[in-house]
Amino acid sequence: MIEARELCKNFKDKKRGVVKAVDHVSFSCKAGEVYGLLGPNGAGKTTTLRILSTALKPTSGTAIINGTDVTVDSQKVRSQIGFLSGNTGLYGRLTAREMVAYFGNLYGMEKQTIRRRTDELFTLLDM
Ligand SMILES: Nc1ncnc2c1ncn2[C@@H]1O[C@H](COP(=O)(O)OP(=O)(O)O)[C@@H](O)[C@H]1O
Ligand SMILES: [Mg+2]
């Protein structure tokens, strides 16, 4: 489902010169698995996630998400993932239903489908 292949990311930093934020990282995560990426501050975890979610391009190496190469078809990858990082906020002015509808729209879902799925999920989750 998620496969990192020899991912590398170098940043050019004014003070530190070239920073090897991610240095040949490979791992794979199967469908249904929960995968933990552990490491001290600055180890490159966030940079790796940004590459997997196509927010950043790798310097070299690549990742395959559900069969699609992030460096070949980033749009297709984006249409199939949800990415919520620790500091991604919710929109304070949207209600819960508006929030879900907003993201449903971004993913190209039909209005009726959004309404039906929202009802199902909100019932299931007692929201
Ligand atoms: N945009 C950037 N420009 C320069 N250096 C960066 C940038 N983003 C991250 N880094 C550096 O890359 C390294 C890895 O950072 P990061 O991926 O945030 O680590 P972690 O999430 O594991 O704490 C750190 O040395 C960090 O300072
Ligand atoms: Mg981090």
Question: And the tokens for 66?
Answer: 């559900």
Nearest CA to ligand 1 atom 16: 44
Which ligand is in closest contact with the Cα of 12?
1
pLDDT score, position 88: 64
Q: Please, what are the domains in the chain?
A: 2-80 (3.40.50.300), 90-127 (no CATH)
Indicate the top mutation candidate among 47, 52, 56 to test ligand 1's pocket, ranked by most ligand atoms within 8 A of CB. Answer: 47
pLDDT score, position 84: 82
Averages of pLDDT over each 10 residues, the chain, 127 residues? 98 95 97 95 96 97 97 94 78 92 92 96 96
In angstroms, the CA 57 to CA 17 distance is 19
Residues with CB under 6 A from ligand 1: 11, 13, 19, 21, 39, 41-47
Map residue 87 onto helix, strand or coil.
Answer: coil
Gap from CA of 19 to ligand 1 centroid (Å)? 8
pLDDT score, position 87: 67
Gap from CA of 77 to ligand 1 centroid (Å)? 23
pLDDT score, position 74: 96
Q: Where are the beta strands (DSSP E) in 14-67?
A: 17-29, 60-65
pLDDT score, position 91: 86
